[in-house]
Amino acid sequence: MTLLTDISPLAIHRIIGRVKDCQPPGLPDFESPLPLRVGDAVYEGSRDVVMVAPTCWLVVDRAPAANAVTDLATSAKFTVVDESGAWRLFQFSDADAGDILAKYCPLNLGAIETGRSCGFVSHLAGHPVIILVDASGRCEILVPRSYTASLLNLIGSDVTIDAVAGAPPSRP
C-alpha cells in the first residue's frame, strides 16, 4: 500500500508582491527568478518555490539555513509572512499518488508535463491542500494544520500513514 509520510518542513514562508509589483524582478538570495505562472514551481536544493496565486508564492524550506526568505522582509516590494506553523507536508511513496488523489481531487494531474515541477492550490474532498509534483513525478501535499486529522482520516483506507514529523492525528 502507498505510504504517506509526514515530512513537515522546517520553514514555510509566503511571499506576496503587492498588486502594482505583480511582475517581480529577480530577487536577492534566490538563485533563480520566482516562477511567474500560477502552478509553476522551481526547486533550489532543499527549497521549493511555488507560485500559488497571482503575485503570491510559497517557499518551502526542508533544511536549515533558510534565512534568505526572511531577508526579503526588508524588501519594499514584497511582504513575507512566516507560515511555518500553518502547514503539514506529506509525501506519497510511489506513483499511485495520482490514483489516490483522483478519488478526491478534480484536478487533472495527468496533464502535468513530464519533467515539469508544479504546485496547485486545490482540495481533496473539501479539504484545502496544495499539491506539489516535482520533475521526477514525486507527489506531496501541503495541508493546513487544522485539516490534517480530518484529511488523514479520509484517506486512511487508501494509504499507510507515517506521521513521523508531527503528532499523529487524533479524533475525539
Partner 1 sequence: MTRPSRRLASGGLIDRSRPLTFSFNGQQLGGYEGDTLASALMANGVDVVARSFKYHRPRGIVTDGPEEPNAIVTVSEGAARTPNLKAPDVALTDGLVARSQNCWPSVDVDLGAIASLAAPLLGAGFYYKTFMAPSRAWPFYEHVIRRAAGLGRAPEGGDPDLYEHRHAHCDVLVIGAGPAGLMAARTLAETGLSTIVCDERLQPGGFVTATSDSIDDQPAATWAARQAADLTVTTNVTYLQNTTALWLGDHRFVTLVERHPDGGKAAQRLWFVRPRHIMLATGAIERPLCFPGNDRPGIMLASAVSAYVHRYGVAPGQRAVLHVNNDSGYACLDSLTAAGIDLAAIVDRRPIDRIGDGAQARASGIELLTDQTITATAGRRRLRRVNVGSQVFEADLLCVAGGWSPTLHLLAHRGDKTRYDPENSAFVADVVPDDVTIVGAAAGVYVLRDCLNDGLRAAEKALHELERDPPPRKDHTAVKSSGLTPGHTADSSPGTIGTGKKAFVDLQNDVTAADLALAINEGYGAVEHLKRYTTTGMGTDQGKLVNALAIGMIADLTSRTIENVGHTTFRPPYTPVSFGAVVGHKRGDNLLVTRQTPFHDSHLAASAVMEPSGEWFYPKCYPRTGESIDDAISREVLAVRNGVGIVDMSTLGKVELHGPDAPEFLDRAYANRLSTLRVGRCRYALLLREDGVVLDDGTATRMSENSWHLTASTAHAATVFRHLQRLHQVLWRELDVCLVDAGEQWAGLAIAGPQARGVLSSLMPDLDVSNAALPFLGFLEGQFAGRTARIFRISYSGELAYEVFVGADRAGELWQAIVDAPIDVTPYGIEALDILRIEKGHAAGAEIDGHTTPGDLGLARMAKQDTPFFGSTLLNQSVFHAPDRARLVGLVATDKRALIPRGALLTETSESLDQIGHVTGAAWSPTLNAPIALALLQAVDGRVGDLIRAVSPVTHQDVEVRVTAMPFYDPEGERMRA
Binding stretches for partner 1 (CB under 8 A): 14, 16, 18-20, 79, 81-87, 102-108, 110-111, 125-127, 144-150, 153-154, 167, 169-172
Return d(Cα 61, Cα 144) in angstroms, integer: 16
The SS3 call for residue 38 is coil
Nearer to partner 1, 26 or 106 (CB): 106
Q: Cell digits for 34?
A: 520566482
CB-based contacts of 83, cutoff 8 Å, min separation 6:
12, 13, 14, 58
Smallest gap from residue 87 Cβ to partner 1 (A): 7
Q: Cell digits for 76?
A: 519594499
Nearer to partner 1, 106 or 115 (CB): 106
Smallest gap from residue 12 Cβ to partner 1 (A): 9
Smallest gap from residue 31 Cβ to partner 1 (A): 25
Strand order of the β-sheet with 47-53 is 41-44, 47-53, 56-61, 11-17, 78-82
Smallest gap from residue 149 Cβ to partner 1 (A): 5
CB-based contacts of 26, cutoff 8 Å, min separation 6:
33
Nearer to partner 1, 7 or 43 (CB): 7
Nearer to partner 1, 26 or 110 (CB): 110
